[in-house]
């Protein structure tokens, strides 16, 4: 596989979304990007606590590079849609944010064989993490502003994919406010020529997704051109209906749970299933 292929596929998603895959133009030439949100497991490689690992940009960059090599994936995840955004709201210049952005910047130069993905929780999930009402349009707007600042930092550092992850359903009363909150995130990714990906637990929310984003849904709900959103528990990956021929990207509905060995085995099975398809 050419060294630039992962980044090339990310650029292709940025230009065309999932439309090229859905129409069959790239069939047989562009395998799905494998991007489950695995990050904290790299702390085991560095023999560090998660707290230390996630706040040290050198250890983080080295550990994520080693994790990619061990798992054989073509995407390195530098932010995993956990509580990073909530940390950035609570503390300006939070060391976790600083480390993640700096690790992205370094890996953009040193990991040329990999695409870099920054996954942020969606505005409704961020509101819930902050103890704010996730259906309030004003709250969603505030969360959007915080997420936009983070997104810009990761994209400027060199991220090739920006994932916005809603691990729960968006309430119907929040629909318009949520779409307005997510639209700037999709737009800034496209402006930076990065792929915008919206990852949803509830297939009904796909209709709210702004134009230009790749939509990832649970396997049973995904149709042609959709990405796949796996459960965070890798034990649930054993037999998903992946539809490899039409899947542009496979990710997860939040940080993947489990230790290094468990996740490595699950990612290996996942990659093999996609390759065989």
Q: Can you give 22-50 as a three-state secondary structure string? A: HHCCCCCCCCCEECCCCCCCHHHHHCCCH
Sort strands 214-217 and 195-200 into parallel, antiparallel or unpaired: parallel
In the predicted model, is pLDDT for residue 239 greater than 70? Answer: no
Question: Which value, to the nearest 10 degrees, does the dihedral of the CA atoms of residues 270, 227, 21, 276 take?
Answer: 10
* Cα distance between residue 193 and residue 121, in whole Å: 21
- What average pLDDT does this structure show over 148-173? 97
pLDDT top residue among 3 and 13? 13
pLDDT top residue among 53 and 2? 53
Give CA 265 to chain center in angstroms.
20
In the predicted model, is pLDDT for residue 243 greater than 60? Answer: no
The confidence band for 32, taking pLDDT boundaries of 50, 70 and 90, is confident
The pLDDT, as a whole number, for residue 64 is 97
How many CB atoms lie under 10 A from the CB of residue 67?
25
* Cα distance between residue 276 and residue 51, in whole Å: 38
pLDDT top residue among 246 and 181? 181
Three-class secondary structure of residue 205 per DSSP: helix
The confidence band for 26, taking pLDDT boundaries of 50, 70 and 90, is very low
Asked whether the beta carbons of 143 and 181 are under 8 A apart, the reply is yes
What backbone phi and psi angles, to 5 degrees, belong to 231?
-65, 150
Q: Is 272 exposed, middle or buried (0-12, 13-18, 19+ CB in 10 A)?
A: exposed
Asked whether the beta carbons of 58 and 46 are under 8 A apart, the reply is no
């Amino acid at each position: 596989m050419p060294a630039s292929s992962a980044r090339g596929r990310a650029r292709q998603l940025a230009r065309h979304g999932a439309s090229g895959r859905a129409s069959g133009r790239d069939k047989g030439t562009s395998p799905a990007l494998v991007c489950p949100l695995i990050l904290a497991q790299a702390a085991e490689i560095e023999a560090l606590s998660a707290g230390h690992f996630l706040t040290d940009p050198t250890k983080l960059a080295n550990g994520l590079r080693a994790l990619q090599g061990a798992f054989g994936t073509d995407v390195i995840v530098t932010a995993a849609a956990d509580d990073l955004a909530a940390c950035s709201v609570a503390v300006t210049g939070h060391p976790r944010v600083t480390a993640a952005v700096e690790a992205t910047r370094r890996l953009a130069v040193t990991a040329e064989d990999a695409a870099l993905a920054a996954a942020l929780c969606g505005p409704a999930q961020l509101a819930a993490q902050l103890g704010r009402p996730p259906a309030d349009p004003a709250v969603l707007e505030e969360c959007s502003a915080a997420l936009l600042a983070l997104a810009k930092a990761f994209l400027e550092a060199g991220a090739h994919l920006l994932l916005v992850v809603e691990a729960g359903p968006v309430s119907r009363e929040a629909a318009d406010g949520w779409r307005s909150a997510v639209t700037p995130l999709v737009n800034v990714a496209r402006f930076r020529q990065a792929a915008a990906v919206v990852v949803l637990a509830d297939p009904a929310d796909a209709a709210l997704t702004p134009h230009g984003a790749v939509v990832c849904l649970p396997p049973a709900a995904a149709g042609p051109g959709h990405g796949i959103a796996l459960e965070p528990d890798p034990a649930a990956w054993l037999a998903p209906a992946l539809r490899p021929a039409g899947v542009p990207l496979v990710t997860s509905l939040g940080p993947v749970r489990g230790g290094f060995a468990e996740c490595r085995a699950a990612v290996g099975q996942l990659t093999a299933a996609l390759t065989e398809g």
